[in-house]
Amino acid sequence: MLLSLVGALAAPTGHTARAQEPGFCTSFSAELIKQGRERIGQTIKASGSRLCSYAEQVVFLMDHSRSPDKSTQPPTPTDNINLGPSANPNAKPTDFDFLKVIGKGSFGKVLLAKRKCDGTFYAVKVLHKKTILKKKEQNHIMAERNVLLKNVKHPFLVGLHYSFQTSEKLYFVLDYVNGGELFFHLQRERCFREPRARFYAAEVASAIGYLHSLNIIYRDLKPENILLDCQGHVVLTDFGLCKEGMEQEETTSTFCGTPEYLAPEVLKKQPYDRTVDWWCLGAVLYEMLFGLPPFYSRDVSQMYDNILHKPLHIQGSKTVAACDILQGLLHKDQKRRLGAKTDFLEIKNHVFFSPINWDDLYHKRITPPFNPNVAGPADLRHFDPEFTQEAISTSITHTPDLAASSSSASDAFLGFSYAPTEEDI
Return all residues near 238 (Cβ < 8 A) that are at least 6 apart: 4, 5, 8, 53, 54, 220, 225
Q: Which of 175, 220, 343, 384 is catalytic?
A: 220
Interatomic CA distance for residues 84 and 142, integer angstroms: 9
Instruction: Identify the DSSP state of 135.
Output: T
> Which contiguous run of DSSP H or E holds residue 140?
helix 138-149
Interatomic CA distance for residues 127 and 145, integer angstroms: 13
One DSSP character per residue, 73-123 reads SPPPTT-----S----TT--GGGEEEEEEEEEETTEEEEEEEETTT--EEE
Amino acid at 165: Q
Phi, psi of 385, deg, nearest 5: -55, -20
Amino acid at 204: V
- Distances in Å between the Cα of 204 and the Cα atoms of 3, 109, 134, 242 are 21, 26, 34, 15
| Longest Cα separation, the chain | 66
Q: Is residue 134 a known part of a binding site?
A: yes
Q: By the 8 A CB rule, do 38 and 87 touch? A: no
* Secondary structure of residue 290 in the 3-state scheme: helix
- Distances in Å between the Cα of 388 and the Cα atoms of 10, 175, 179, 378, 385 are 10, 18, 15, 11, 5
HEC string of 185-231 equals HHHHHCCCCHHHHHHHHHHHHHHHHHHHHCCCECCCCCHHHEEECCC
Q: By the 8 A CB rule, do 104 and 387 touch? A: yes
69 is catalytic: no
Q: In 193-351, where do the E strands start and end?
A: 226-228, 234-236, 255-257
Instruction: Identify the DSSP state of 41.
Output: H
Q: Which residues pair with 254 in a beta bridge?
A: none
Q: Which residues are annotated as a binding site?
A: 134
Residues noted as catalytic? 220
Q: Which residues are annotated as a binding site for ATP?
A: 134
